[in-house]
């Protein structure tokens, strides 16, 4: 099982051979997920370019990946993480904290190519 960060999904959409190979290997060990926050980030990028080809690819990919919600449990966890990091003087993007909280509350490791964005988040397993 693995929760994909936006940069990994973009690698899939671009058909990056290393990313595709990595995901194929992960699929053998369980389901592949992403979060509603990553979903938002993908669509935000789409509306910047408005490419019909990109829209179709995003829709097709999101139809085969399980989507994890930002529910009450994840919201509470995100607030806890955000305050913990703020007290330590480590500012992290709120969207990254939300992504991490969803992965944590669903007991999913996060596959990201931007480990620096997430390395200070306690309880988050990174791939």
Strand order in the sheet with 110-111: 66-68, 32-35, 2-4, 110-111
Residue 9 lies in a domain: yes
Span 68-117, pLDDT tens digits: 999 999 999 999 999 999 999 998 899 999 999 999 999 999 999 999 99
With H, G, I as helix, E, B as strand and everything else as coil, classify residue 88: coil
Residue 122 lies in a domain: no
Residue 44 lies in a domain: yes
Residue 14 lies in a domain: yes
* CATH code, 19: 3.40.50.1010
Tell me which residue range forms the domain holding 78. Answer: 2-109
pTM: 0.92
pLDDT: which is higher, 87 or 50: 87
Per-residue pLDDT, 126: 97
With H, G, I as helix, E, B as strand and everything else as coil, classify residue 123: coil
First to last CA, the chain: 11
Residue 6 above 90 pLDDT? yes
Q: What is the average pLDDT across 116-124?
A: 94
Give the count of domains, the chain: 1
């Amino acid at each position: 099982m693995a929760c994909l960060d936006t940069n990994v999904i973009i690698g899939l959409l671009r058909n990056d051979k290393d990313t595709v190979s990595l995901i194929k290997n992960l699929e053998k060990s369980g389901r592949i997920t992403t979060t509603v926050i990553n979903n938002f980030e993908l669509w935000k990028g789409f509306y910047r370019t408005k490419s019909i080809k990109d829209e179709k690819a995003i829709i097709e990919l999101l139809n085969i990946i399980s989507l994890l919600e930002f529910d009450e449990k994840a919201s509470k966890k995100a607030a806890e993480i955000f305050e913990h990091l703020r007290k330590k003087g480590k500012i992290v993007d709120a969207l990254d904290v939300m992504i991490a909280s969803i992965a944590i509350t669903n007991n999913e490791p996060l596959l990201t190519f931007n480990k620096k964005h997430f390395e200070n988040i306690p309880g988050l397993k990174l791939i």
